[in-house]
Amino acid sequence: VDLQGYIFNTFANMVNVPKERKTYCAGKKCKKHQVHKVTQYKAGKASNFAQGKRRYDSKQMGFGGQTKPVFHKKAKTTRKVVLRLECKKCKTKKQLTLKRTKHFELGAKKAEGGHQY
Q: Is residue 10 packed enough to be buried (19+ CB in 10 Å), middle (13-18) or exposed (0-12)?
A: exposed
17 vs 10 pLDDT, higher one: 17
Q: What is the mean pLDDT of the chain?
A: 88
Residue spans of the domains in the chain: they are 12-39+78-107
Give 17-33 pLDDT, tens digit per residue: 999 999 999 999 999 99
Query: Is residue 39 within 8 Å of 82, Cβ to Cβ?
Result: no
Give 65-89 pLDDT, tens digit per residue: 999 999 999 999 999 999 999 999 9
- The whole-number pLDDT of residue 7 equals 45
59-68, long-range: CB < 8 A, 24+ apart: none
CATH of 12-39+78-107, one of 3.40.640.10, 3.10.450.80, 3.40.50.300, 1.20.120.1760: 3.10.450.80
Q: Look up residue 89 and give its DSSP letter.
A: T
- The whole-number pLDDT of residue 109 equals 79
55: left (phi over 0), alpha (psi -120 to 50) or beta: alpha
- The whole-number pLDDT of residue 3 equals 44
Give the closest residue to 109 by CA, choosing from 4, 19, 10, 39. 19
Terminal-residue alpha carbon distance, the chain? 36
